[in-house]
Amino acid sequence: MNLIGLPTHAAVEAAGLQAALATIVGPAHVLTGSDAAPRLVDHRGCYRGNGVAVVRPGSTAEVAEVVALCARHRVPIVPQGGNTGLCGGATPDSSGQAVVLVLSRLNRVRQVDAENDSITVEAGCVLADVQAAARDAGRLFPLSLGSEGSCTIGGNLATNAGGTQVLRYGNARALALGLEVVTPTGEIWDGLRGLRKDNTGYDLRDLYIGSEGTLGIITAATLRLFPLPAAEKTAFIAFPSAAAAVAFLAAARAGFGAALTGFELISGPVLDLVARHQPDSVLPYGAAERRAPWHALVEISGSDTDEHTTTRLEAVLAAAIDRDEIIHAVIAAHARQAQVLWALRHRLIGEALRREGGSVSHDISLPISRIAAFLADIEAALQRLLPGAVVYPYGHLGDGNLHYNVIPPANAPADARTRIQRLVYDAVVTEGGSFAAEHGIGQLKPSELARYKSPLELRLLRALKAALDPNGLMNPGKVLPAEA
């Protein structure tokens, strides 16, 4: 922490707190100054803050001691995992009053129970490492995100992360059987139960999941595992319209059932953007096929043989071609080709958007039945609002989640970003959708919560916060809007 400019008494108090923290976690794990700087900014550089210190506890007991110390001194706490969030939920404010509590040292796999199809891991475990531990036990942990090589389980649960296999397996909440949580008073709730059924009172587990560290700190979780699929097949498909893609999704559900594990919608302009910014990247088909307005990356997996899985996929695709729902399709011949297709979705699209710059991004969800009409209506409305705006939508069509990116025209007014966001969010809510699908609220969207939630919902949310964190020390300024 840079103490220049702070009153002398504040500097003394900060030094005393840093010393007390060092007695709990060790001096090497209390970071200040330039050592702390990387943890005081989000990974995109959109949010910057300050803090008394960055603290890295090595156990749940140390987390509890740190929280209890901060509670006694009324010091705010900002929990942080892999720092990969998109809404500033793990970045402190600029006041310099908070302790940033980084859970990266809590990275042990505590238990794999293959017979129970469960795994218990600490919150600092990187998602890819949890996937690997499950795979080593002959099981699948299906949560899959573009940031899986750096995001952590604690952050995944704190934001109720989604990803590309929600269609089959559900969000992070659906994959959690039990939690271990440090409360705002520094007590430890041990809810690490590997049970599928447990109706012993209110569901505290689901309350903490998705709360973004504002109610307590998740330190460990027992997660659901599944059998490894015997076969996986991936196809990349071109459609004449978004409505055709939605129709094919319904046909795929009917044809594949639970074997349909992924259905990612990608617009033609998004593919063109990847080709323009990353000309050496491997794209699924040529420029002529890429001119189709919409595409989808589809995955099926299950217990059938590879040959039978391929036959099922080809049959469903052939029927859709006969119905004129599909323009073109390619099927990955082997796992390496499938990985190349998924790299497009997980990595190349995001990188191309970053290189293009200036995008107004939206993480929205809608009833699947309304998506095709929404996409047509909102683009027309955007052109009326800002002629020349360019739209780059893609997302998880299988669960109704779109990442709707808009780049304003060069001559756009200064308030273009606000006007675009208001137009999109108003349209989404009118259609019965949500302005926050899988990235959370953080410090980016509390004002939207105030705008779109009913007064009753806001009162209930604030009542929960007041009951569990009466001093408001847990991740302040995140999720809930300030009271008027």
Domain count, the chain: 4
Best CA proximity match to 88, nearest among 477, 482, 483, 484: 477
Contact 469, 214 (CB under 8 A): yes
pTM (2 d.p.): 0.93
CATH for 287:
3.30.70.2190
Same domain, 350 and 245: yes
What pLDDT was estimated at residue 11? Answer: 60
Contacts (Cβ under 8 Å, ≥6 apart) of 355: 277
Confirm whether 445 is domain-assigned: no
Best CA proximity match to 171, nearest among 468, 444, 434: 434
Which of these three, 43, 72, 102, is where a domain ends? 102
Same domain, 237 and 340: yes
Best CA proximity match to 393, nearest among 347, 359, 439: 359
Confirm whether 25 is domain-assigned: yes
Which of these three, 332, 354, 376, is where a domain ends? 354
Confirm whether 267 is domain-assigned: yes
What pLDDT was estimated at residue 12? Answer: 55
Confirm whether 258 is domain-assigned: yes
Confirm whether 462 is domain-assigned: no
Which of these three, 78, 102, 126, is where a domain ends? 102
What pLDDT was estimated at residue 390? Answer: 97
Q: Would you tell me the crossing angle of helices 242-256 and 306-322 to the nearest 10 degrees?
A: 140
Confirm whether 272 is domain-assigned: yes
Confirm whether 464 is domain-assigned: no
What pLDDT was estimated at residue 10? Answer: 58
Confirm whether 476 is domain-assigned: no
- What is the extent of the structural domain holding 303? 229-354
Same domain, 245 and 328: yes
CATH for 427:
3.30.70.2740
Same domain, 24 and 72: yes
Taking the C-alpha atoms of residue 406 and residue 404, their distance in angstroms, rounded to an integer, is 7
Same domain, 219 and 283: no
**Average pLDDT, consecutive stretches of 10 residues, N- to C-terminus, the chain (484 residues):** 44 84 97 95 93 97 98 96 95 95 98 98 98 97 94 97 94 98 98 94 96 98 96 96 97 94 96 93 84 95 90 94 94 93 93 94 97 97 97 96 96 95 98 96 96 96 97 97 84
What pLDDT was estimated at residue 1? Answer: 37
Each residue of 266-298: pLDDT tens digit? Answer: 999 999 999 999 998 888 888 878 889 999 999
Q: Which phi and psi (to 5°) does residue 115 adopt?
A: -65, -30
Contact 435, 362 (CB under 8 A): yes
Question: What's the token pair of residue 395?
Answer: 């997302």
Beta strands in 166-303 (DSSP E): 176-182, 188-191, 217-224, 226-227, 231-239, 260-267, 294-302
Q: Is 297 helix (H, G, I), strand (E, B) or coil?
A: strand
Same domain, 116 and 83: no
Same domain, 222 and 233: no
CATH for 66:
3.30.43.10
What pLDDT was estimated at residue 286? Answer: 82
CATH for 142:
3.30.465.10
